[in-house]
Amino acid sequence: TSSGEAEFEYLFKLLMIGDSGVGKSTLLLSFTSNTFEDLSPTIGVDFKVKHVTLGGKKLKLAIWDTAGQERFRTLTSSYYRGAQGIIMVYDVTRRDTFTNLSDIWAKEIDLYSTSQDCIKMLVGNKVDKENERVVSKKEGMDFAREYGCLFLECSAKTRVNVEQCFEELVLKILETPSLLAEGSAGVKRNNIFKQKPQPDASTSGCC
Ligand code: GDP
């Protein structure tokens, strides 16, 4: 429980990116379910935390979801700031979600991402709907090669490849010295994740 989970060597910030409806929240929930602490009500941002041991290291992953803001393309630079990994999701049954990744999302990432070496993972979701597929696996692979990112297809529904999407990304982060350095600096800053809500001045300390 929490005392054991409190120990970790690196803290990484990961982001979920992509059009509304592609399955970002479902993927994240599928990956974090059973073990997640949902801190959103506490500090007012939408992310989930998962503790994992990967590559022999104890890690704390803070995975940010867009809370629906991607619908209005209002993700700000603060959403992207300090992310070591980005999961770019499209729906293999909706071509527009795939083309928007290259036309819109990839440009935004390059504009806002502050970690030079930030690792990206392209994810084609909903492969359980194989008979409705319109984006081939090869197209995904070609885009990933061109853009220089990792690539997997998965189904958040059947949970095929869900863990791998996150784990392959994190293993790549662990191989990147500059991102490791950011991750250990993150441990020192981690107290921001533990802050309890401050008592409201109007309701405490009076009389
Ligand atoms: P978001 O807007 O990107 O966060 O997408 P959601 O996670 O809210 O998912 C949108 C819809 O797609 C929901 O109805 C999900 O149940 C559904 N969905 C998500 N992942 C899958 C999947 O892998 N397969 C299928 N068939 N449906 C999925």
For the segment 124-134, what is each residue's pLDDT rounded down to a tens digit?
A: 999 999 999 99
pLDDT score of 101: 93
Residues 170-186: what's their mean pLDDT? 92
> How much is the pTM?
0.85
**What would the mean pLDDT of 148-162 be, rounded to a whole number?**
94
Cα(40) to centroid(ligand 1), Å: 21
The protein residue with its alpha carbon nearest to ligand 1, atom 11, reads 21
Share of residues in the chain with pLDDT > 90 (%): 55
Given the CA of residue 66, which atom of ligand 1 is nearest to it? 4
- Are the beta carbons of 54 and 167 closer than 8 angstroms? yes
Output the ligand 1 site: residues, CB below 6 A.
20-26, 125-126, 128-129, 155-157
pLDDT of residue 91: 98
Mean pLDDT on 156-176:
95
pLDDT confidence bin for 42, thresholds 50/70/90:
very low
The pair of three-digit structure tokens given for residue 76, joined into one six-digit string = 């700000």
> Which atom of ligand 1 is nearest to 89's Cα?
3
CA of 26 to the centre of ligand 1 (A): 6
Give the phi and the psi of residue 181 in degrees, each rounded to 5.
-60, -40
pLDDT > 50? residue 116: yes
Predicted pLDDT of residue 194: 53
Provide the ipTM. 0.99
Of 26, 152, 165, the residue with max ligand 1 atoms within 8 A of its CB, to mutate for a pocket test, comes to 26
> For position 1, what pLDDT does the model report?
43
**139 within 8 A of 7, measured Cβ to Cβ:** no
Tokens (6 digits) for 18: 């992509």
Mean pLDDT of 99-121: 88
Q: With cut-offs at 50, 70 and 90, classify the pLDDT of residue 110.
A: confident
Minimum-distance ligand 1 atom for the alpha carbon of 26: 7
Q: Whose CA is nearest to atom 25 of ligand 1?
A: 126
Helix 162-174 × helix 24-32 angle, to 10°:
80
* Most confidently modeled range among 157-161, 168-172, 201-205: 168-172
Rounded CA separation 82/70 (Å): 19
Residue 128 three-state SS:
coil
Least trusted range by pLDDT, from 118-122, 129-133, 136-140, 179-183:
179-183
Element (H, E) at 14: strand 10-17
